[in-house]
Structure 1
Amino acid sequence: MAIPSLPTEIWLEVFRYVDPADIWLSLQHVSKEFHACARDTMQAEVVPNFLISLSFTLGSGTRARWYDIRGSITLGFSSMSKHNPQYALFDKVHLLPESCSQRAWEKWNQICSAGVGESLDWRVALKDGPVRTVKMSKLIISHKHGAWCDWREMLDAYFKFPHVPARNPVWQRDLV
């Protein structure tokens, strides 16, 4: 069965109603046109709905202790890089716990100064979707600018989990 020939604008509108996981894991691999439409849709419609966060202890030592307060920083999407559209800026900052926001901000600045290695586990969440713990080796952080994230790496890491289709869809019932 051949894919109908439609203008790109129509395909972009159709892609807006498809599950983001299906777009990223399947549709972008169908053809060059679908690849371009998938990237455009993900960049414009899906990436802005992501949050990334990092948890840390607010203790003064180098090792976590049971009585240390846990803190986290959550970064919301702000914009795509004009110079390198592969990167998205996440700089809408929310620190927890709010009662220790000054200490959490100091800890964030320490993390930024030390640099982020590939070993850090980031929590990534799509609006109304599950929170997943992923590693992002291309993430660049700055205490002044938040985090620059390779959005394609983020989507690969987020959607790499098994994509479970609905139970016993209609087309499978016909095969049984």
Structure 2
Amino acid sequence: MLLHDVADRLNAVADHLPLPDQIQPDPALSEILDDEVRHLASLLTYLVGESAFRHRAAARYPTRVTATHRRTTLALAQAAEPTSAALAALGSAVHHLGLLAELTHQAPGPARTRAIASTYPGLVDRLGESRTCLARAAKQLRAAADTRATPAVTAPSPLTASATASRTR
């Protein structure tokens, strides 16, 4: 449940990011980025903190560590990499958005048009990269959550003739 919950929260951040055809370099996008960077930073902090807590607990109480505990700890740690990459991509998107905002204050002309044309795709690419990284992190967490260790089950023993006969009496 924990891993699915974190995956849902990562997907929620991705869902709040605009799609490529919805991206407008305006103050509304700045607000979205502000909100989602905060959410993503708190999720990354949670992943790192929970992973560290579980690692410490395993070191202190090694007899209590189960395969599920180890798998969950590893999944949280592995999700930190694409989550931090998504956060870095959002940071780069903020940079591109800042450049575009600055370009709007320059005098109109071919140089400004070229600069906008070369900067805007970077903004779109970084937002797309962030969405991709978030999807990868969520997918990893869901896969780890859905991986179940096969329980050791003994096969039922076949009934002997005497056991079958005693039941029919």
| Larger proportion of strand | 1
TM-score interval (norm. to shorter): under 0.3
Scaled by the length of structure 1, the TM-score of the pair is: 0.25
Question: Could you say which structure has the larger radius of gyration?
Answer: 2
Scaled by the length of structure 2, the TM-score of the pair is: 0.26
| Larger proportion of helix | 2
